[in-house]
Amino acid sequence: MPMISQVKTRTVTDPDEAGRRIDNLLISILKKVPRGLIYRLIRQGQVRINGCRVKQDYRLQVGDQIRIPPIRSREDSPIKIADNFLENLERSIIFEDDNLICFNKPEGVAVHGGSSLRYGLIEGIRVSRSSTKFELAHRIDRETSGCLLVCKNRKTLIAVQSEFKNRNVRKVYEFYSVGNWNSRNKSVHQKLKRYKTAWGERRVKIDVLGQNARTDFRVLDKAPSATRVEAVLHTGRTHQIRVHSKHCGNPIIGDRKYGNLEGNCQRLCLHATRLSLEIEGLKYKFDAPKSKELEDIWGKLILGARLD
């Protein structure tokens, strides 16, 4: 049975919480509450800071008093995450220091929980490490594998997000596409716009009214009916590589949103291979090896075999 919580008051005392948006804080502490409900409570003024209504993008300050209204939910019961999920997360770590973690995120693992998922990678690592301070620095699709950064403190999160915003992060992907590309190197500059399908699914299309987007493609290898391609992102739009690759006439193998399933391939053949950035003078460069599954898929494509 869902339970109704009591009014709660929380005082911001941790410097790591200063500067954090109120919506992000509530999402992290009210783990069992749907995001839509949290945003509705903020809009209705039921969440208050120092007795005043605020917007969802209000940034907290040390000393702020947060009023959290009664909520009908299961928020008081902890998220139960399978041990093997947590073990797989720990095994997928390719780098860790006092400030951040880089994961080689497996395909099929969501970066966070949502309406249809109770938890994702970020909820898992918070449980595994018994810390709510961990935050995603960026996102990649559930179907995409590879480099994903998680920050351990607010200071690092702000620094990393600033690097992403200023386009100082180098992001390199590798994918397998349908057919042979008509040139070895290609730079695509096509604006992208998000929209929803009639059934409510989020999609992206090329549109002159969209946001600027640039992807540089380089052919790495060719198979009889497929191409192995490297993609360098200069912008980080939703589904950017998938839509730009389709625009070139070569959708990504296994792309159920934009592409050709090519022999019923059961996974999206897109991998975040490398990521590099600089934080306060310290240079980071991460390299995430492709899984054996992806390597085997390319081996079959080279031989011209079906991907059943």
Q: What is the pLDDT confidence band of residue 3, given thresholds at 50, 70 and 90?
A: very low
Specify the CATH architecture of the domain 167-303: 2-Layer Sandwich (3.30)
Contacts of 282 (CB under 8 A, 6+ apart): none
Q: What pLDDT sits at residue 307?
A: 78
Q: Residue 56 pLDDT > 70, yes or no?
A: yes
pLDDT in tens, 198-229: 888 889 999 999 999 999 999 999 999 999 99
Long-range contacts of 192-197 (CB under 8 A, 24+ apart): 192/237, 192/238, 192/239, 192/240, 192/243, 194/238
The DSSP secondary structure of 182-245, one letter per residue, reads SSSEEEEE--EEEEE-TTS-EEEEE-TTSB--EEEEEEEEEETTEEEEEEEESS--TTHHHHHH
Higher pLDDT, 80 or 302: 302
Pairwise pLDDT comparison (193 vs 13), residue with the higher score: 193
pLDDT tens digits along 116-147: 777 899 999 999 998 888 999 999 999 999 99
pLDDT of residue 163 exceeding 90? yes
pLDDT value, residue 2: 47
pTM above threshold 0.85: no
> Two tokens at 240?
């950017």
Please confirm, yes or no, whether 98 is among the known catalytic residues: no
DSSP the chain: --EEPPPEEEE---GGGTT-BHHHHHHHH-TTS-HHHHHHHHHTT-SEETTEE--TTPBP-TTPEEEE---EESTTSPP---HHHHHHHHHTEEEE-SSEEEEEEPTT--SS--SS-S--HHHHHHHHHT-S--EESS---TT-EEEEEEESSHHHHHHHHHHHHTT--EEEEEEEEES--SSSEEEEE--EEEEE-TTS-EEEEE-TTSB--EEEEEEEEEETTEEEEEEEESS--TTHHHHHHHHTT-PBTT-TTTS--TTT-SS--EEEEEEEEEETTEEEEEE-PPPHHHHHHHHHHHHT----
Q: Would you say residue 288 has pLDDT above 90? A: yes
Domains 83-155 and 167-303 share a fold: yes
Contact 43, 77 (CB under 8 A): no
Query: What is the spatial distance between Cα 252 and Cα 285, in angstroms, rounded to a whole number?
Result: 26
Catalytic residue, chosen from 23, 64, 141, 255, is 141
Mean pLDDT of 265-275: 94
Has residue 244 got a pLDDT over 50?
yes
pLDDT in the model for residue 1: 40
Q: Cα dist. 184→180, 220, 227, 235 in Å?
A: 10, 8, 10, 21
Quick check: 64 pLDDT over 50?
yes
Instruction: Tell me the fold of 83-155.
Output: Pseudouridine synthase (3.30.2350)
Domains of the chain, by residue range, sit at: 7-50+57-67, 83-155, 167-303
